[in-house]
Structure 1
Amino acid sequence: MNQPDELDLPVEGGTLRVLRFGRGPRIALAAHGITGSGMAFRAMAARLPEEWSLFAPDLRGRGGSAGTPGPYGLERHAKDLCRLAEDLGAGGPVALTGHSMGAYVALRAAARQPGLFDRLLLVDGGLPLPVPPGADLDAILDDTLGPALARLGRTYETDVAYVDFFRAHPALGPYWNADMEAYVRYDVTGPRGARRSKAREEAVRHDGRDLLTSADLFAADLTGLRVPALLLHAPLGLLGQEPPMLQASVVERWTGRSGSLPAELTEGSNHYTILLGTAARTVADRFVGLGG
């Protein structure tokens, strides 16, 4: 299941590159993070039962979909997920998951067309994030995403240099494995001597600003959610240390007092290793089990 098929599937205004892991009849759809690609789900997909097929699109402006035109934004990505679910599900329900920004996209898709999906697994994302009024959104993105965003404006002499940049990342390097390497190598493009990420910075910043200013929309989606859902969240954040991506007060607001969303802290993981490290087994198991 580790080597995906690469498909180009239709969406409004073009196509999306979609990675298919597995050949089983049970269909899953997965949305990746803000600077990532469908290859982020390689480790999880390898741990799904044989009867599953996981389809992981490269969202517009990323991976093999870097050239698919905008507009960008979480609503557009959610529409794309719904279109893929309609086509791939062939009238049957699709299991849905998303990581980081992809969790917000998946939440939007499930809220838009709940009849398409029979479950929703949010992986370290999907909860409204508090943003101070008048805040500089691009500065927040720079501070929060750090190396993940900084790499988009750089070039690298070789693929090895690009991999080495990731291996120096404090949330990845200490836990480096074959799934991380595959994820990084899938992302690199460009001419010899000027290799770079496939992700388009304008798409990343547009989507990031959209995410930061849409808390009320996500709150409404969560409150009215009609799809069985679960949140898995990591105790450590994007730099492999505290604070986590979803801070305790935010998680408590949506999973504690109200009890509207079940949640599980995935011990020993950070924002990236919850999906790309050994915790991928937990993610796969909870995804399968969420369907009852």
Structure 2
Amino acid sequence: MSVPVNGGDLVVSRLSSAAPSAPTAIALHGITGNGWAWLPVAAGLFGRMSLWAPDLRGRAASRLVGPPYGLGTHADDVIALMDHLELERAVLIGHSMGAWVGSLVAARHPDRVSSLVLVDGGLGTAMPSWVDPDLFMYAVLGPAIQRLGMTFPSPADYLAYWAFHPGLGPTLAGPTGHLVRHYLTRDLVQERGGWRSSCVLDAVRADGSALLDDEEVLTSPQASIGHGIPVSLLWAPRGALNQPMGLYGGAWPPWRPLPEGITAERVPDANHYTVIFDPPAVRQVVSRLLAAAAR
């Protein structure tokens, strides 16, 4: 489905269908991802909740949308999607950068969000002004950022690159591997000389910069809670490279202070990727999402 937005047409996938009386959620992906990141979660929701997942502007099938870029523009796009679907309110779930987008939507439009689920993202503090956004993103995400400047001979070579990724590679050989491969290859575009990531670097940079120092973005979870929106956090104890220190620490409680009023759950053994891909983690995400819809 295409949704008219400022700068083009946003491409949105309906990944899970349910009866008209069932709840609806909008799922928002990470900084170099696409909407099909939610395929494993959608498989667990099928028949119980409708799940819509946009390719955010500058990524995958929405790569030609924009500028303008930035998290505020993503938030506007989410509202445009809800208007297009004639959704008065919806549950929002976001992973990594998508969690901040969801928080910003909730803070700006509390009447449109019934509940907010943050998955290993959405909470943070401002970084010093001397921190370089590109270096910061590379330090956190490593190969996911490195690939943006690479060309691959074929989609198979691209998947082989990911197979060696310490945080995601083992998942490709697991029970959700076929879904993760669909997600990864959706990112590819063909050009003379091979295949490359669809991600627009200017879009990634604009979004990454906002995660470092945009006060409206960084305070949006507290603002959402202040509006009375139920907010949940599911966090992975391991990082994007499967290192034993994730975004919120490796043990309970998270090392980052949590806003008062947030419900937090640790997802055992998960890293920043597998928290939405591996079956045990997916079951926990699905359970939390359905609980959020029932509130």
Whether TM-score is above 0.5 comes out as: yes
* Corresponding residue to 1:17 among 11, 23, 33: 11
Equivalent residue runs for 1:1-292 within 5 Å: 7-24=1-18, 25=20, 26-88=23-85, 90-176=86-172, 177-191=177-191, 193-214=193-214, 216-225=215-224, 226=227, 227-247=229-249, 251=254, 253-255=256-258, 259-278=260-279, 279-291=281-293, 292=295
User: d(CA) in 1 for partners of 2:190 and 2:126?
Assistant: 37
Amino acid at match of 1:45: A
User: d(CA) in 1 for partners of 2:282 and 2:33?
Assistant: 16
Structure 1 residue matching 2:238: 3-state secondary structure? coil
The question of whether the paired residues in 2 share the 8 Å contact of 1:127 and 1:251 is answered with: no
Consecutive unaligned residues in structure 1, runs of 5 or more:
1-6
The question of whether the paired residues in 2 share the 8 Å contact of 1:254 and 1:261 is answered with: no
Corresponding residue of 1:3: none
Amino acid at match of 2:292: L
Residue identity over aligned pairs, in percent, reads 38
User: d(CA) in 2 for partners of 1:81 and 1:19?
Assistant: 13
Consecutive unaligned residues in structure 2, runs of 5 or more:
none
User: d(CA) in 2 for partners of 1:54 and 1:223?
Assistant: 25
Structure 1 residue matching 2:11: 3-state secondary structure? strand
Q: Label 1:218 to 1:246 Cα distance change in 2 as closer, same or farther (>3 A).
A: farther
Can you list the C-alpha shifts for 1:7-49, whole angstroms capped at 9, x where unaligned? 1111123210111112323321011000000000000011014
The question of whether the paired residues in 1 share the 8 Å contact of 2:24 and 2:91 is answered with: yes
Q: Label 1:250 to 1:267 Cα distance change in 2 as closer, same or farther (>3 A).
A: closer
The question of whether the paired residues in 1 share the 8 Å contact of 2:3 and 2:80 is answered with: no
Runs of at least 4 residues off by over 6 Å = none
Q: How many residues align?
A: 282
User: d(CA) in 2 for partners of 1:183 and 1:237?
Assistant: 20
User: d(CA) in 1 for partners of 2:164 and 2:67?
Assistant: 32
User: d(CA) in 1 for partners of 2:66 and 2:131?
Assistant: 29
Q: Once structures 1 and 2 are overlaid, which stretch shifts more, 52-61 or 217-226?
A: 217-226
Root mean square deviation, CA, Å: 1.8
TM-superposed deviation, 1:129:
3.4
Task: Report the TM-score when normalising by structure 1.
Answer: 0.91
User: d(CA) in 1 for partners of 2:112 and 2:97?
Assistant: 20
User: d(CA) in 1 for partners of 2:192 and 2:147?
Assistant: 17
User: d(CA) in 2 for partners of 1:19 and 1:135?
Assistant: 36
Structure 2 residue matching 1:208: 3-state secondary structure? helix
